[in-house]
Amino acid sequence: MINESNYESYFLNFLANALTDQEVEILMAFLKKNPELEKNLPFLNNYIVDSNKEISLNKSFLFKSLDNFNSINEDNFDEFCVAYYEKDLSSFGYEKLSNYLKLHPEKLAHFHNYGKVHINPQLDLKYPLKRELKKYSLSPFYRILYISAAAAVIFLFIYFIPTLNHVNNVNKPKFVNTDKSVSYEKLNRKNNAVIARNEKELGLATINQLKTISTNPKHFQVKLTNTRDSLPDKEINIKSINAIKINELSPSNGNETINFIADIEKRNDYKNKVSYLSFKEFLMRKLHKKIDPILPANTDEHKFTWWDLATIGVNGINKLADSKLKVERKINNEGKVIAMAFESGKFSFTRSMSK
């Protein structure tokens, strides 16, 4: 049991960290009852007992500042000099140093030497690879913009590859008289209608407009339309007929043969005669093969809709940016899009498309 006659041994054991937790508690209780003893043991104040009963030495009392020195002498002069140039000297220390230097002017050179040992950085020395260190991150808007632009370029590239590769392809559609060379065709005039006949290419066509183009009644400007049921108008692409030169026009006598000058373009029959695809169909088929992995399912081989393009774009972005964007549409029984949904990893929204 701790008491006034044996407490010193407790203190010594305490300082030697030789007390058990229980004995420390007894000691602290004893000190509470006898505060005058605690005052006689200044070292005890340098120990901190925390709530976990861990004891550690408060070392702050061991530290000395330059202010603790009563005077400057040979032994501590260097410390004062260093502290002065490190701006670590108190006003009290500064005063002491000033007085010392006044009394010992021979030490001034020594003192000033400490002022010379501060190193200036070589400011002309620059890190040469700053650009490589920098990171250029884009805002989501610009990121999507740039990726879309990249996707568009890739898309266009893929789109035009077949064109570039097939300029001289034998599958190229054939045109007739595309060189604007003059061709002579025969016209038959019957009653008030003039029947044109392109014996080689066009089959029957009717002149539905006959206009005097000069005071010379022998010159007319005409436009031909096809009358054959099997060939729609658009498939006989008559570019123009410049004029009809009527060589042997006499007052209408029922039938006469006249020559006319025409540029005739025919671009339809190749499809029937040869099993070629149209230029557009050909490109579409090529394109489908190229971008098949990112095509939406059930895409018509011969055409793209805006939805297909959007899906391709989104799939392209997913491939480039390793993202998980999705565009989906909901179609009603009539095949009309009634709603669309956009989904990313972080958010999604749905929008009704019906008016």
**Where does this chain bind another protein (CB under 8 A)?**
63, 78-79, 82, 85-86, 88, 113-114, 116-122, 125-130, 132-137
Residue 201 CA to residue 185 CA, distance in Å, equals: 10
Question: For residue 242, what are the CA distances in angstroms to 181, 183, 210?
Answer: 11, 11, 12
Three-state SS at 91: helix
Nearer to another protein, 33 or 135 (CB): 135
Measured from the CB atom, is 116 or 273 closer to another protein?
Answer: 116
Strands 236-245, 337-343: parallel, antiparallel or unpaired by DSSP? Answer: unpaired
CB of 132 to another protein, least distance (A): 8
Which 3 state secondary structure label does DSSP give 351? strand
- The DSSP H or E segment spanning 49 is strand 47-49
191 contacts: CB under 8 Å, gap ≥ 6: 252, 254
CA distance 42 to 33: 17
* CA end-to-end span of the chain: 95
In the bound complex, what is the minimum distance in angstroms from residue 64's beta carbon to another protein?
10
Our CB check for another protein shows the closer of 135 and 355 to be 135
Contact 314, 326 (CB under 8 A): yes
The residue among 117 and 164 lying less far from another protein, judged by its C-beta, is 117
Q: With respect to another protein, which residue has the nearer C-beta, 33 or 87? A: 87
Residue 107 CB, nearest approach to another protein (Å): 13
Token pair 């016209």: residue: 187
Alpha carbon distance 233, 342 (integer Å): 44
CB of 134 to another protein, least distance (A): 5
Minimum CB separation of residue 119 from another protein in Å reads: 4
C-beta of 80 vs 260, nearer to another protein: 80
Distance in Å, CB of 76 to another protein, minimum: 11
Pick between residue 113 and residue 252 the one whose CB is nearest to another protein: 113
Q: Which residue has the tokens 């011969």?
A: 302
Beta carbon of residue 80, minimum distance to another protein (angstroms, whole number): 11
Parallel, antiparallel or unpaired: strands 183-190 and 47-49: unpaired
Helix, strand, coil proportions of the chain in percent (round to 5)? 40, 20, 40
Q: Supply φ then ψ for residue 76, to 5 degrees.
A: -110, 5
Q: How far is the CB of 54 from another protein (least distance, A)?
A: 20
Closest to another protein by CB, 33 vs 118, is: 118
